[in-house]
Structure 1
Amino acid sequence: EALEDYYLGFIALARRMGTGLILESATWRASPDWAQPLGLSPKDLDALNHKAVSLLMHLRESAAAEPPIIISGCIGPRGDGYDPGRIMSGEEAEAYHSQQVAVLVAAGADMLSAITMTNVPEAIGLARAARKSGAPVAISFTVETDGRLPTGEALWHAIAAVDEATASYPAYYMINCAHPTHFANSLEQGAAWAKRVRGVRANASRCSHAELDAMTELDRGDLTELAQLYKDLTLDFPQITILGGCCGTDLTHVTAIAEACLSH
């Protein structure tokens, strides 16, 4: 019921604004390393992934095509979303994520989203697993306050490396888990690689990942400023049409973003 209430708010917003909507399954942490400490068996984990997509399919049916909804199977990193930790090879990452990819696609997800990717090899492995499943995939990179991945790689280099290793299989790229002021200057207007970035899910807070990790209270940031920064981004980079929120954001933030960006 809590999940339904959460999603229904975004469905209502998209309907009011006359936009399409991508609903992400609540499966960002539904992979083996995160399930084992909870005592979940592989079968239990598969069932949870399947249920998460089934819930979204039910909501889409209830919405009756208004707004048009895409169901995305959400996949998170094997490690922490802020810290790459031990970096897998592309082959190891493909093997680790392949079961969740297969279950989400079999459950009916229209596409996959690899969210908070902190390093290139894992993004490559996930893209390859998606390609084997036949499902489109979006790769969303986490960046630090300097606009670089937690591994220190430039965003343009990460996108180029994944495209080169996968024959440009990702449908598009996104940036998430950072404030717009952290990455706006990293994007190059007119650059081919920048045109591959189609979505942003920014943090509400200007704080670094280290600062956010140490906080005991949620930083909701400056909602008005955040919405204006999104608007500036979409004016400079009109291909960025997929807008949402990451750490510290909720429906209130996304509502302000939608209203700001659809006013021009």
Structure 2
Amino acid sequence: MTTYRNNLPQFDNSLMLTDSGLETTLIFHDGLDLPAFAAYPLMETPEGRETLTRYYRRHISIAADHGTGFVLEAPTWRASRDWGAQLGHSPEDLARINRAAIGFLSDLRGAAGSVRPMVISGNIGPRGDGYRPDSAMTAAEAERYHAEQIGWFAQTDVDMVTAVTLSTVAEGVGVIRAAKKVGLPVVVAYTVETDGHLPDGTPLGRAFEETDARTDCAAAYFMVNCAHPDHFRDALEAGSGWLKRIGGVRANASRLSHAELDEAEELDAGNPAELGRDYARLRRLLPNLKVLGGCCGTDHRHVEAIADCCAASHAE
């Protein structure tokens, strides 16, 4: 049974942590091979589910220690039709895995003890490479594509859906329209290059404004992910009313560009303490920033540093 679908706690005064760079943690720290950068196949084996359980519990314990809520993001970023086909999974396979992933998170929530509120989110990734908008869809094409995975989520106990690492407004608009049709709260996270623009050149603020204009402000809120705070801080400092629409950040630990990260053979984990201080500065710029987590190169150490810098000040 869904718990928060009609009343997301992100809209009250709850500070919510979320997890970090799932795929980079699994590859570089746990030594796993993730073809197509996909974590969802781990749902298919007991060993894989145990690996995911350890990962999520490390992060949930940080929320417990700091008295925050938590957003449980499903390991389904690549679990859509085109990516699944690359890994030999049929739509029927993907439907089963997406639903199982939400059930898996529901069990984790039930065993999480004192951590409340805890929101379950169906995680959606871009249809193509999030760093390259050269295969960009129209909004209608994006809606048709993402409606399939969103529809699978709608049949579960999921509270919301979150689409991350999107690089075009059209794809964000399509995701929002698909989620709205099945009554799911939806969040869209855009990624930016080192200049604070989306990979297709759209300034960050304009991306949020255009998305809202084309969807009647239907997104619950927006996020920024898969970029270091240095890459988008200037855009925030120059921003205006759209800053109020940013409810979450999942930043990279590294200051490298997307192209440089793609070519890197070693993980750039940055400095967790420094990243925590960066988030504290972001919270002073963003009045509605409530969901804090990490992206590429981050792990539980970064989330703990973020919580150290932000949870106490939020409670004051």
Q: Normalising TM by the smaller chain, what interval?
A: over 0.9
Q: Is the 8 A contact 1:189 1:236 kept in 2?
A: no
Whether the aligned pair in 1 keeps the contact of 2:68 and 2:311 (CA below 8 Å) is: no
User: SS state of the match for residue 220, structure 1?
Assistant: coil
Q: Is 1:57 the equivalent of 2:106?
A: yes
Q: Does 1:117 align with 2:160?
A: no
Counterpart selection for 2:57 from 5, 8, 23: 8
Query: What are the within-5 Å matches in structure 2 for residues 43-192 of structure 1?
Result: 43-64=92-113, 66-188=115-237, 191-192=240-241
Q: Any idea what SS the aligned residue of 1:126 has?
A: helix
Shift of 1:239: 1.5
Range that drifts further, 59-68 or 127-136: 59-68
Aligned sequence identity (%): 49
Spell out, residue by residue over 1:79-116, the C-alpha distance to the aligned partner (whole angstroms, 9 max, x if none).
11211221101000000010100111212110000100
**Backbone CA RMSD of aligned residues:** 1.2
Contact kept? 1:111, 1:136, Cα under 8 Å:
yes
Moved over 4 A (4+): none
CA contact (8 A) 2:236 2:285 kept: no
Code of the residue aligned with 1:53 in structure 2: it is I
What's the offset of the Cα at 1:222?
1.7
Question: Does the 8 Å contact 2:253/2:297 carry over to 1?
Answer: yes
- Give me the whole-angstrom Cα distance separating, in 2, the residues matched to 1:236 and 1:157: 17
Residue 214 of structure 1 corresponds to which residue in structure 2? 263
User: How many angstroms apart in 2 are the aligned matches of 1:170 and 1:65?
Assistant: 29
Instruction: Return the letter of the residue paired with 1:250.
Output: D
Q: Is the 8 A contact 1:116 1:140 kept in 2?
A: yes
The size of the alignment, in residue pairs, is: 264
Q: Secondary structure at the match of 1:27?
A: coil
- Deviation readout 1:230-262 (Å, 9 max, x if unpaired): 111112323212100000000011000110112
Write out per-residue CA displacement over residues 114-158 of structure 1, whole angstroms, 9 at most, x where no aligned residue: 100100101000000010010100110000101110000011111
SS of structure 1 residue aligned to 2:312: coil
- Of 230-239 and 139-148, the range deviating more from structure 2: 230-239
TM-score of the superposed pair, with normalisation by structure 2: 0.81
Structure 2 gaps of 5+ residues are 1-49
**Whole-angstrom CA distance in 2 between matches of 1:93 and 1:236:** 31
Counterpart AA for 1:205: S
The residue identity in structure 1 corresponding to 2:115 is E
What is the TM-score of this pair, normalised by structure 1?
A: 0.97
